[in-house]
A and B are shown apart, each in its own frame.
Chain A
Amino acid sequence: MRYLPKSPTERQEMLAAIGVKSIGELFQSIPAVHRLKDALRLPGPLSEMEIIEFFQKRASENALGYVNFLGAGVYNHHRSVVTDAILQRGEFLTSYTPYQAEISQGTLQVIFEFQTLMCQLTVQEVANASMYDGSTALTEAALMAERLTGRSRVLVARSVHPEYRQVLATYARNSGLQVEEIAFNASGQIDLPALRTAIDNETAAVIVQSPNFFGVLEQIPALAEVAHAREALLVVGITEGVSLGAVRPPAEADIVAMEGQSFGLPPSYGGPFVGVIASREKFVRQMPGRLAGQATDAQGHRGFVLTLATREQHIRREKATSNICTNQALCALAATIHLCLLGKEGLREQAQQNLSKAHFALSELEKIPGVRRAFSGAFFNEFVIELPRSVKLVNAALLRDKIIGPLALGTFYPELTKRGLVCVTETTTRAEIERLAAMLHRALEQPV
């Protein structure tokens, strides 16, 4: 077997050195009744050529060759080949969590730079070394708010990603956290009067997403005012990080929970991605996840170490506040390289291209009779359109033209049938947008 570096003779030599005759003797501690007599029924062994062929076949059964207009928390953005070239260096790819600082300075400095970049983007004071993904980051932000305020009720906007809200519900069910949802209004934003009615002195946090699931920007300063008036915290989720190149950052938020997939990570059918929690310095002791900090050695050389480790579960055991253990260091590395490549101007230009193309797409789609935008609030690169008939029917027609159309919102919001979420990024060409509009127009003209 090509991954195993031993010859049969070497195995015999090692057995002899141990003082046993056969490998079976080393497994005697497993009661005989539990030892397998037969080989496992597994496919393989496969050579490298066969493995590649197997996965290429699977790839061909997917959506290769289709243009898609899907976002909803997972975005198609340009990824420089530079990022992946560095990511595949064995020194990053095959290293362990940097507990041994002296031989992990590469990973540790990257994490420190990642934390800094996340702070700069979100205009927060501290950021952690990453969480599993945006959905678990948002959930951990809610639990963090619960600890910080000593209150156990959170108000979450219905315009937050539906799957994120489901994850929050799973964690809340067993921790005593009470979750209530706040409706959205005609602009697609959280309904402020409803929020004002619902918030009370037992509220730990108000949780919104911006741009929200409908692509609409929330009024962060106003929401902060409502939350802070009751000494509750404002938690802002971000699923589309590229928006921060054009959209005002949530500076008034107390905790920002972000998904970093847009920064150099492929859609990869939903993961692995990279969550981030950013917050205020005074809250750092209640922040989950690893943190890298600056330190010096005896000679005065600057280095970095994992710090404030006493927050973590392997030390606190049953007194832990979060059971998050691994982070997504390699994904955080991808995001760091990607953002360094983009730089200030690159990110601005990318964001402006997203904004311009999305607004162009809306104007093209609105030319089709019966098609109009469903919400009126300002948006970045996603928007909801209302169609005169079922989105699913229209999408079935678009598929024949190799277009994956808008995400049908009726699946998530029963009241939003005939509404579809459209996403356009810098990777979408004008020709593709025009083809979507033309094919959508044609599909709507077909008799039902």
Chain B
Amino acid sequence: MKDKITKATRHTNQNEALIFAKSAKGKRGVEFPPLDVPAINPQAVLGAAHARQEISGFPEVSEIEVIRHFTRLSTWNYAIDLGMYPLGSCTMKYNPRVNEFVARLDGIATEHPFQPQGLSQGCLKILQLLEECLLEITGMDSVTLQPAAGAQGELTGLLLIRGYLQSRGNPRRKVLIPDSAHGTNPATAVIAGYVVENIKSESHGQIDVERLRELVTEDVAALMITNPSTLGVFEQRIAEIAEILHAKGALLYMDGANMNALAGVTRPGDFGVDVMHLNLHKTFSTPHGGGGPGAGPVLMKRFLEPFRPVPVLTQLSDGTLSLDSNRPQSIGRVRAFCGNFGVLVRALAYTLAYGPGIRQATEDAVLNANYIRKKLEDVYDLPYSLPSMHEVVFSDARQKKNGVNTMDIAKRLIDYGFHPYTTAFPLIVPGAMMIEPTESESKEECDLFVDAMRAIAEEAGANPELVRTAPHSTRVGRLDEVGAARNPVLRWKPAASSEAAD
């Protein structure tokens, strides 16, 4: 192909410049009705001190150009709608379309958080029903839907613990976190004002209960646990762990990232958890959207209820629902307005679609993970052999002998039409390959994935270079992350347009 021809590529998806390169003075993609009041000159009412002169570099393009630009860009993404996303601990399941439809209804998407509560009963009933469903699924007593994401849910949960302990005289100093935990756990504990103490896992990857017994003192506020753990294994001594904590007045926090293994089968509230968060964009199917928005409701036992962030949903004696911000023991407000309402709507639509049948989703998720485990355990190393729930963690130990690591295998999966699994996490497994298929995959799709993984295992022996340099089928190859970090280019600039905008 001639160098000058920039539209054609070696792929079916087209080259696409930055939107700024398409800009030309006088084009636009939106027109407004004529102004029906006297026009005002910004200079006149705002004065020279407040009026804006120019929006330098801002694009000027037509409607069709916008459509083509973003449609072409979309074809460079992988997505659940295209195939399996076996990202461990991310629960990339099908995002039902009806959820999108109902979240956009007039009377749902159009509502203003400050409109009278008497005219918001529909919104508040949605929140109330979602609260009831989440309480039933988790077996907890009380809930807040305010947190905007899982990490904010974690923070809210720890602030609830702090508020409660403080009300009893001493917020305590330490939060215990297993070495298998996700990085948000320690980060959150520190933001909540606690010192983190790590607990090493025992040889099967479970919490070392005897060590825990030694570590839990009157100085410990809580243990943050993920159950099933990030190895996809249920903490079998969970009730005992809760007892050890409770005996010293400490609380058990559960990161609900892996709730997709439990819904309908067992309830954290029944096995000793005091406070937990859910990731609605994982277990409850709200779309990831390339990295958010999410929502991170926090569920708790009754004694933590007075500390919930405002506003709190309450039912008045006449049955009407209301948002109450006058809560003297509240930890405060964690986000303006009323949570990520649009995400909450979608999560309720998902829950209603299943009802009690949510158990079947959990069973299928666990079935898929165990099926894949069985079909791959002879070619990939399984560092911990305890029974898997919704995800399975292999390691690259065998392939590493040929110089092929977990990241290489993950990248090679792309050439077989799959999104990579989670690499290099949990940290306690060197070269981890963490696979979570979710319930959304058919037997056929699981078989295709198994075939791909087995083919790559073979390639790692026969032609390691092929795997090491993967992917080979994408629009761009492995990008130079080192160069990008050493000399960050974080925005387009007109001055460099000849280079940056082509």
Contact = CB atoms under 8 A, between A and B. Distances in A.
Interface string A129-147: 1101111100000000000
Nearest to B446: A14
B66 A82 contact: yes
Interface string B325-352: 0000001111111111111010001011
Given A94-B288, A120-B56, A167-B335, A45 B183 contact: no
Contact of B115 (A164, A315, A404): A404
B428 interface: no
A43 B28 contact: no
A201 interface: no
B442 A34 contact: no
B191 A322 contact: yes
Contacts of A57: 122
Contacts of B387: 26, 28-29
B439 interface: yes
Interface stretch (B212-220, B265-273, B397-405, B459-467): B265-273
Given A271-B148, A330-B287, A43 B129 contact: yes
Contacts of A93: 79, 81, 95, 100, 287, 289
A176 B221 CA distance: 19
Contact of B85 (A63, A96, A296): A96
Nearest to A58: B122
A317 B186 contact: yes
A325 interface: yes
Contact of B290 (A46, A95, A299): A95
Given A170-B309, A247-B50, A295 B479 contact: yes
Contact of A340 (B29, B389, B483): B29
A290 B291 contact: yes
A119 interface: yes
Interface in A319-358: 319-320, 322-331, 333, 337, 339-353, 355-357
A1 B104 CA distance: 24
Contacts of B253: none
A327 B292 contact: yes
Contacts of B39: 352, 356
Given A62-B108, A103-B78, A136-B335, A323 B188 contact: yes
A281 B184 CA distance: 26
Contact of A249 (B52, B182, B189): B52
Contacts of B63: 82, 341
B345 A329 contact: no
A21 interface: no
B314 to A, nearest CB: 17
B108 A326 contact: no
B interface secondary structure, majority? loop
A17 B375 contact: yes
Contacts of A58: 107-108, 122-123, 125-126
Interface in A83-132: 84-86, 88-98, 100-107, 109-110, 112-113, 115-117, 119-121, 123, 125-127, 129-130, 132
Contact of B111 (A90, A269, A291, A426): A269
Given A70-B115, A378-B50, A430-B37, A343 B336 contact: no
B113 A269 contact: yes
- Determine the interface band of chain B, counting residues with CB < 8 A from chain A: 35 or more
B56 A51 contact: no
Nearest to B296: A326
A371 B180 CA distance: 63
Nearest to B271: A34
A265 B189 CA distance: 32
Contact of B29 (A120, A328, A341, A378): A341
Given A296-B480, A330-B287, A356-B35, A42 B355 contact: yes
Contacts of A119: 491
Given A18-B371, A330-B289, A63 B120 contact: yes
A283 B287 CA distance: 32
A74 interface: yes
B122 A46 contact: no
Contacts of A343: 23, 27-30, 58-61
Interface in A282-314: 284, 290-299, 301-305, 307-308, 313-314
B18 A110 contact: no
B29 A92 contact: no
Interface string B57-96: 1111101001101110111111111100101001010111
Nearest to B345: A55
Contact of B355 (A23, A44, A248, A322): A44
A110 B73 contact: yes
Given A3-B353, A166-B333, A90 B47 contact: no
Contact of B112 (A102, A267, A355): A267
B474 to A, nearest CB: 4
B450 to A, nearest CB: 10
A429 interface: yes
B2 interface: no
Given A36-B265, A132-B149, A316-B183, A326 B291 contact: yes
Contacts of A340: 19, 29, 59, 61, 66, 69
Contact of A29 (B234, B338, B492): B234
B105 A333 contact: no
B19 A113 contact: yes
B341 A269 contact: yes
B98 A95 contact: no
B248 interface: no
Given A94-B81, A106-B73, A248-B51, A68 B112 contact: yes
Contacts of B376: none
A447 interface: no
Contacts of B375: 17
A293 B282 CA distance: 27
Given A43-B355, A102-B474, A378-B46, A245 B55 contact: yes
A268 B367 contact: no
A5 B442 contact: yes
A368 interface: no
Nearest to B333: A166
Contacts of A295: 479-481, 483-484
B431 interface: no
Contacts of B81: 90-91, 93-94
B264 interface: yes
A393 to B, nearest CB: 13
A175 interface: yes
A318 B189 contact: yes
Contact of B116 (A91, A360, A404): A404
Contacts of A304: 479
Contacts of B337: 73-74, 163, 269-271
A159 B271 CA distance: 47
Given A323-B151, A378-B45, A267 B111 contact: yes
A356 B34 CA distance: 12
A102 B414 contact: yes
A359 to B, nearest CB: 5
Contact of B107 (A20, A27, A64): A64
B80 A90 contact: yes
A3 B112 contact: no
Contacts of A91: 74-75, 77-79, 81-82
A299 B477 CA distance: 8
A197 interface: no
25 contacts: A30-B234, A34-B270, A42-B133, A42-B356, A43-B352, A51-B353, A54-B352, A56-B105, A66-B115, A70-B114, A74-B113, A78-B32, A92-B290, A105-B73, A110-B290, A167-B334, A175-B191, A269-B113, A291-B490, A296-B483, A329-B292, A330-B289, A343-B58, A352-B39, A355-B46
The 6 A-B residue pairs whose C-beta atoms are closest, nearest first, are A44-B355, A59-B107, A330-B289, A270-B337, A90-B81, A170-B332
Given A105-B76, A267-B112, 15 more contacts: A6-B364, A44-B356, A55-B102, A62-B111, A63-B119, A110-B290, A174-B162, A266-B342, A269-B337, A293-B485, A307-B490, A323-B191, A328-B291, A343-B23, A430-B37
